[in-house]
A and B are shown apart, each in its own frame.
Chain A
Amino acid sequence: MSFTKGGVFKAACAALIVLSPLPAVAQDWEPRRPIDFTIMAGAGGGADQIARFLQSVAERYDLTNRPLVPTNRGGGSGAEALLHVNSASDPDHTILVTLNSFFTTPIRQDNLGIDIQTFTPVAMMGVDPFVLWVHVDSGITSLDQWLETVRGMNGDYVMGGTGTGQEDSIVIAYMSDAFDISVNYIPYDGGGAVARDLAGQQIMATVNNPAEAKGFYEAGQFVPLVAFSDERLPAYPDVPTMIEMGHDFSYYNQRAVVGAPGMSDEAAAYYQDVFTQIYESDEWQAYLESESLSPLWMDAEQQRAYWATQVETHRALLAALGE
């Protein structure tokens, strides 16, 4: 894909013209100052990459009249970000890029006083699947072989992840239960660090998003064993899914943008419009494909309903984890 400057400008104009017939209220409201674009994770991980990608698409097509200012607030599995957005003094200029910790953190720490239903739905940009990876030097190529190795090590098999109660630990907990295995789980502060320590063989396996493991997979260092998606991932056609193996389990990380509680309807309409344009851009569609994300577009009402079901699902998953 190549762009000339003129081409980009024309494409942007075309996109604006095509997407502009929206209710008049949407045009009435425009940001009056830079937009606080809080990221629920530290710099360098999957969520951070996505947030900066979204920002750059917005910038490229000049979709916002005031800039999006990304700030990483990854502390406490996203609790820091949730508290920040929950008490935002200017909700019309505060939006949040979320992961599943949007659901799990308020359940695990109910003293935070966060009710996610008070937040404002903006856009569901896609869902990120999980895959079980091992290092190529381990010689393991199938799930059966892996299970045999893990059982043989009696709880000394070392796996890394982003922390108990986080997305990958939920998947690992499911496997521990379903296959009756136990592992030594080491928490890290982000998916990037986990991938690095698998590459250095400090740990033996990880459950990670394809985006974070892709570079090492292409270099032949990581071997995917099983995908926790509903169907086989197009980029990894030979990797079986858990469902094919007869276990009804799939798990995704949401990549969604939400607004602060108390955001006005006009502002919400504005951001929904901006992120719809980003979602429909060639860049985002190409990103979804290359990083193996699944599209899961929803309108605001569907997002609220989705939040409610996700909270219930995660409550059950976390209860099973013993949290």
Chain B
Amino acid sequence: MEILSLLGDGMLLALQPLNLMLIIVGVTIGLFIGAMPGLGSVNGVAILLPITFLVPPSGAIIFLAAIYYGAMYGGAISSITLGIPGASTAVATTFDGRPLARQGRASLALVTAAIASFIGGTVANVFFTAFAPLLASVALSFGPPEIFALMLLAFATFVGLGGDDIPKTIFSICFGLVLGAIGFDQISGAPRLVLFDINGFLQGIGFLVLAIGVYGIGEMLWTIEQSRGDVESTTPKMTMKGMAADTAESMRRGWKGTAIGSILGFFVGILPAAGATPASLMSYGVAKMVSRNPKDYGRGNPDGVAAPEAANNSASTGSMLPMLTLGIPGSPTTAILLGGMVIWGLVPGPMLFVNETEFVWGLIGSFYISNIAAVLINLAFIPVFIWMLRMPFTILAPMIFVLSIAGGFAATRDMFDIWLIVIFGLGAFVLRRFDYPLAPAVLAIVLGPIAEPTLRQSLLLSSGDPSIFFTRPVAGPITVVALILILLPLLKLLRRGKAAEGAGRPS
């Protein structure tokens, strides 16, 4: 019961007028930073870090954590309304959020995102409060072979992600992996695949550049082509009654995705090097894989919005765990928060929980309060976001274009990335015409740069012996499950091919 009293004290600290105000302001800022394409929690936290000197450390981290939370909620907004991922963590939200919006059901998608985020965040908070020190040791037991096994598992869920056309899915994965390999090699430091000797390729291709190209520009071109410029504008209405109905529907149709995202997201989040982006993508894949109607995914299934949104909130709380218990960042944003703690004169590391009880529990308490504040503020703004959708497409399309370009530039401030976005947008449009699934490529560019170094580190550890992935107690079972998942659809494909041959029909 000691934990409960510590948590109670922490919540009281978070509810002090100054801290409560910081939470509300932080969540609101985060919501809008998250909703801006290109800008995510990393940028928000980094930009606002220096001004936190004006308040005591506990207030400062509460403020930054509130921004982090708000951004996780906000990312979904432009993913759903405009089809441009608001942040890297919200790319998976576009898969089903955008089709829902095009069917005039944007309010259902937005409400689902908000509620799934709330539940994901709350589940993660409870895990965090109850088991933090125990889970920290789980995080440490994940060395390179375990992380690689986990990435393999994630790739296995992709195979089910691209519809039934497995060869095209594999092509898409390989394309993403190649894009992810461009730039400096992490292990040897040598430059790779610097196409045409253009220096811009040295820094590699950012995940966001591909995502904005594919989903911002590519989606816009696709819409124009499909409708021949005559886009039927949906007129979504927003009433209190409608919102209540949407809430009920999102609970009914999105509970499974929410449950998967909340739990899986948290565990992926606490692992070093992973963070909320892989967590949300993996949760989407798993939700689709276990669903009875996987074909509904990508066509506007609320479960496909709930899974990644629950996961990215859950993972962002999860990634605070290694930061607070071990002093190790679990995501790029927590890396910056950690820098903040040094600036405020705290020593991150295993002793923080012991030496700075008030700070740690004040922060955990603030997670609960921020989560409630974020869901309320988000729901309150939904009518505003819906209103944006009622603009005619002739106004919306140029807006999407400008936001895509500005968002891509804001992330790296490099003109080269803008050209890449345009090229990827055109390429995505062409590939889509030929029914190539693009989500697996986007996933591969995120996970490839995590999988490749861990594979090589593992093989260095074992002097080149691949059995390291099977003999280690944690890596072994994960690898076996991943291999089964990859082989199953391939076997099915082969059998179907044979059956078709047997019947004398060309397949």
Judge whether A196 and B461 touch: CB under 8 Å: no
- A305: CB under 8 A from chain B? no
Q: Contact partner of A184 among B42, B143, B327, B460, CB < 8 A?
A: B460
Residues of the A chain whose Cβ atoms lie less than 8 Å from the Cβ of B338: 44, 49
Residues of the B chain whose Cβ atoms lie less than 8 Å from the Cβ of A200: 139-143
Residues of the B chain whose Cβ atoms lie less than 8 Å from the Cβ of A76: 183-185, 189-191, 202
Judge whether B457 and A165 touch: CB under 8 Å: no
CA distance A164 to B456 in the complex (A): 14
Question: Residue on B with the closest CB to A211?
Answer: B342
A195-230 residues with Cβ-Cβ distance < 8 A to B are: 195-197, 199-202, 214-216, 218-219, 221
Q: Contact partner of A75 among B184, B340, B345, B350, CB < 8 A?
A: B184
Question: Residue on B with the closest CB to A3?
Answer: B53
Judge whether A215 and B463 touch: CB under 8 Å: no
**Interface-lining segment among A52-60, A174-182, A238-246, A265-273:** A52-60
Residues of the A chain whose Cβ atoms lie less than 8 Å from the Cβ of B413: 36, 71
Judge whether A215 and B457 touch: CB under 8 Å: no
Judge whether A187 and B335 touch: CB under 8 Å: no
B17-57 residues with Cβ-Cβ distance < 8 A to A are: 42, 46, 49-51, 53-54
- Chain B: residues with Cβ within 8 Å of the partner, total of 55
Q: Distance in Å from the Cβ of B259 to the closest Cβ of chain A?
A: 29
- A32: CB under 8 A from chain B? no
Residues of the B chain whose Cβ atoms lie less than 8 Å from the Cβ of A75: 183-184, 202-204
Chain B 445-461: CB-based contact to A (< 8 A → 1; otherwise 0): 00000000100010011
Q: Contact partner of A77 among B189, B340, B342, CB < 8 A?
A: B189
CA distance A192 to B460 in the complex (A): 20
Q: Distance in Å from the Cβ of A188 to the closest Cβ of chain B?
A: 7
Q: Which of B141, B199, B335, B340 is packed against the most chain A CB atoms within 10 Å?
A: B335
Judge whether A56 and B50 touch: CB under 8 Å: yes
- B278: CB under 8 A from chain A? no
Judge whether A218 and B351 touch: CB under 8 Å: yes
- B224: CB under 8 A from chain A? no
Q: Contact partner of B335 among A44, A56, A286, CB < 8 A?
A: A44
Judge whether B189 and A197 touch: CB under 8 Å: no
Judge whether A56 and B53 touch: CB under 8 Å: yes
Residues of the B chain whose Cβ atoms lie less than 8 Å from the Cβ of A30: none
Q: Distance in Å from the Cβ of B416 to the closest Cβ of chain A?
A: 11
- B144: CB under 8 A from chain A? yes
Residues of the B chain whose Cβ atoms lie less than 8 Å from the Cβ of A185: 460
Judge whether A189 and B186 touch: CB under 8 Å: yes
Residues of the B chain whose Cβ atoms lie less than 8 Å from the Cβ of A286: 345
- A274: CB under 8 A from chain B? no
CA distance A84 to B414 in the complex (A): 10
In the complex, which range does the number of interface residues on chain A fall in?
35 or more
Residues of the A chain whose Cβ atoms lie less than 8 Å from the Cβ of B345: 1, 286
B388-431 residues with Cβ-Cβ distance < 8 A to A are: 412-413
- A5: CB under 8 A from chain B? yes
Residues of the B chain whose Cβ atoms lie less than 8 Å from the Cβ of A195: 328
Q: Distance in Å from the Cβ of A313 to the closest Cβ of chain B?
A: 20
Contact flag A53-B461 (CB < 8 Å), given A43-B335, A75-B203, A202-B144: no
Contact flag A59-B140 (CB < 8 Å), given A79-B202, A164-B188: no
CA distance A52 to B53 in the complex (A): 13
Q: Contact partner of A219 among B204, B336, B351, CB < 8 A?
A: B351
Question: Residue on B with the closest CB to A155?
Answer: B463
- B167: CB under 8 A from chain A? no
Q: Distance in Å from the Cβ of A210 to the closest Cβ of chain B?
A: 12
- A158: CB under 8 A from chain B? yes
- B329: CB under 8 A from chain A? yes
Q: Which of B188, B189, B347 is packed against the most chain A CB atoms within 10 Å?
A: B189
Residues of the B chain whose Cβ atoms lie less than 8 Å from the Cβ of A199: 140, 326, 328, 350
Chain B 170-193: CB-based contact to A (< 8 A → 1; otherwise 0): 000000000000011111111100
B185-225 residues with Cβ-Cβ distance < 8 A to A are: 185-191, 199, 202-204
Chain A 46-73: CB-based contact to B (< 8 A → 1; otherwise 0): 0011001101101110000000001101
Judge whether A196 and B189 touch: CB under 8 Å: no
Extra contacts, 11 of them, besides A164-B188, A187-B457 (Cβ < 8 A), are: A52-B336, A79-B184, A80-B202, A105-B189, A200-B141, A201-B140, A215-B327, A215-B347, A215-B348, A215-B349, A218-B351
User: Which residues of B are in contact with A by a Cβ distance under 8 Å?
Assistant: 42, 46, 49-51, 53-54, 139-144, 183-191, 199, 202-204, 272-273, 322, 326-329, 332, 335-336, 338-340, 342-343, 345, 347-352, 412-413, 453, 457, 460-461, 463
Q: Which 9 A-B pairs have the closest CB atoms?
A: A215-B349, A76-B184, A44-B335, A202-B143, A200-B140, A59-B50, A219-B350, A75-B184, A215-B327
What are 21 inter-chain pairs, A to B, with CB distance below 8 A?
A: A1-B345, A44-B338, A52-B46, A59-B53, A76-B185, A79-B184, A79-B189, A80-B202, A109-B189, A186-B461, A187-B186, A187-B188, A189-B453, A196-B272, A199-B326, A200-B139, A200-B142, A200-B143, A202-B144, A215-B348, A218-B351
